[in-house]
Amino acid sequence: MKKRIFVTATNTDIGKTYTAKHLLEAFASQGYRVGAMKLIETGVKEFAPDATALLQTLQQLNPAFLSLEVADILPLQYELAAAPYIAAKKEALDLERLDATVVRLELLCDILIIEGAGGLYVPIDEKYMMIDMITHFQAKALLVTHCSLGCINDTLLSQKALQDLEIDFVTAFNCREEDTSFGVVSEPYFQETQKNVLKVTEDIDTICDVLYNL
């Protein structure tokens, strides 16, 4: 089994795809053959924006992906912009299809980045939540969190969920230009209570090293 890293987040629109692209670029710069897949994407109409962005990045970094199409790295897509449980109309998750995609893609890479959908407790079907996919794929997790007010609560809840399932993970803060108050109202807490405060744009090489060695 190749190295698998599952990119998840504290909620939707936190920056999973943005972070996954940074991971791909950083690992590729270290000489690894990189690969990626978007596990499930909802809200897909004319095209799948997240999976398309991942594939475009991959095709610049790994020639083995040049002949692939979006459907090759996006096994499940739905038109309704909602939790998969709703978007799929309660259809049971096709794990065999997901597994087959992972097997095919791992033939092309040394490290596979698997991007989830939404946050950890987004329901996929009546049995599975997104967090269950991390365990299913025996992956290490990168928890992407935000830097706006409320990130302490959101981050701690998601970290506890991962800890309760004994999932190895790294937390990365995706700070945006408007998050000017983070250093005053939230970052001091994390600096005092956690080992590292790693930021996507500033610490991507460190994030990659820690993830690879988990």
Segment 43-77, tens digit of pLDDT: 999 999 999 999 999 999 999 999 999 999 999 99
pLDDT at 2: 83
Q: 74-93 pLDDT, tens per residue?
A: 999 999 999 999 999 989 99
Rounded distance, CA 36 to CA 185, Å? 35
Q: What is the mean pLDDT of residues 119-124?
A: 97
Q: How many CB atoms lie within 10 A of CB 89?
A: 8
Q: What is the pLDDT of residue 1?
A: 67
- Give the count of alpha carbons within 13 A of 127, CB side only: 7
Distance of CA 120 to the CA centre of its chain: 10
pLDDT of residue 212: 96
**Phi, then psi, of 141 in degrees rounded to 5:** -115, 140
Q: What would the mean pLDDT of 28-56 be, rounded to a whole number?
A: 97
What mean pLDDT value characterizes the chain?
Answer: 97
d(CA 85, CA 173) in angstroms, rounded, equals 28
The reported pLDDT for the residue numbered 195 is 84
Q: Which of 16, 21, 38, 140 is catalytic?
A: 38
Tokens 């025996």 belong to 138
Is pLDDT of 36 > 80?
Answer: yes
- Give the chain's domains with CATH numbers: 3-212 (3.40.50.300)
Q: Does the annotation count 127 as an active-site position?
A: no
Give me the mean pLDDT over the 143-163 stretch. Answer: 98
Tell me the pTM. Answer: 0.97
HSE of 119 in the Cβ direction (CA atoms, 13 Å)? 14
